[in-house]
Amino acid sequence: MNRSVLLVVSVVWNSCVCFAQGGSAGTGGQIEPRFIVDMPTAGMQPKGSIALDADFYDHGGMLLGVSVGVFDRLSVGISYGGVGLIGSDPVVMNQIPGFAVRFRPLEESIALPALVLGFDSQGRGYYDKSQSRYQVKSPGFFAVVSKNTLFLGYLSLHGGVNYSLENADGNGGANVFVGAEKTIGPFLSLTGEYNAALNDRTSNATGKGRGYVNIALDVSVGGGLTLGVDFKDLLENGRGTPGVRRTVHLEYVRDL
């Protein structure tokens, strides 16, 4: 390969890297990821920023959320959505909006992970009014730690415990979740999580007792915009929607 071709490739690559900066994926990402796939990380949005999130899922479902970085260590948010919003199925909205708050009492250091304590009442999938719960229960109260390491780019590890308030179905108690994110170049990240769903395992539960394995491929498009393609429930744990569910996620973060 001659020098002129190498120069063109270098210019194009560097342009892509510069353009993609500002998202939450890849080594060039400048925004901390706030979610593994569905479950929270110890990431925080910057003080004075607004984050807009949109999820598009099966049965014409759409979930929109907005959160504000009140301080560097505190953010609050609200979300709302429903199914049937896209396509010809009947529109069924969630019963109430979801509310979220995050506080990070411990910043990451060389020896210690970052720690976030919070509450998030937004579940995933359809809302079952008869049992007052989402298809996949909301985190509720949660504590999560995240640690970043250098490994062919960045490798981020996450682990947490949570207690959902969606227990009217007789499935209550604490739950655990773990996850990891691996950057692939300057603007791509591959993420995976396991939500044990310990609070959804009885005979009348939505899940089959296997927990949820989800993976996502995220790309920083640029200017604070990140696009994600998610593959959810790889263990086919859900009873209501058998098979792997494919969803799309958009995240946009900017200063107010």
- Examine the pLDDT at 23 and tell me if it is beyond 70: yes
- Inform me whether the pLDDT recorded for 102 exceeds 80: yes
Rounded CA-CA distance 156/35 in Å is: 12
**pLDDT at residue 11, rounded to an integer:** 37
Give the per-residue pLDDT at 111.
92
pLDDT of amino acid 32: 95
Answer yes or no: is pLDDT of 205 > 90: no
- Identify the sign of the CA torsion 183, 226, 246, 125: positive
Among positive and negative, which fits the CA dihedral 67, 198, 236, 218? Answer: positive
Over 90: is that where the pLDDT of 41 sits? yes
Mean pLDDT of the residues in the chain: 89
Domains, in order of start, for the chain: 3-255 (2.40.160.40)
Q: What is the share, in percent, of the chain residues with pLDDT greater than 90? A: 73
pLDDT over 70, % of the chain: 90
pLDDT confidence bin for 2, thresholds 50/70/90: low
d(CA 91, CA 112): 46
Q: 10 or 127: whose pLDDT is higher?
A: 127
Model pLDDT, residue 89: 86
Give 240-252 pLDDT, tens digit per residue. 666 789 999 999 9
Q: Residue 48 pLDDT more than 90?
A: yes
**159-197, pLDDT tens digit by residue?**
999 999 999 888 889 999 999 999 999 999 999 999 999
What does the pLDDT read at residue 17?
44
Q: What is residue 138's predicted lDDT score, i.e. its pLDDT? A: 97
Helix (H, G, I), strand (E, B) or coil at 2: coil
Q: How confident is the model at residue 68 (pLDDT cuts 50, 70, 90)?
A: very high
Who has greater pLDDT, 176 or 4? 176
Residue 206's pLDDT is 77
**pLDDT over 80 at 20, yes or no:** no
pLDDT of residue 103: 98
Distance CA 70, CA 118 (A): 14
Assigned token pair, 91: 């529109």
User: Shortest CA distance to 252 belongs to which of 24, 46, 70?
Assistant: 24
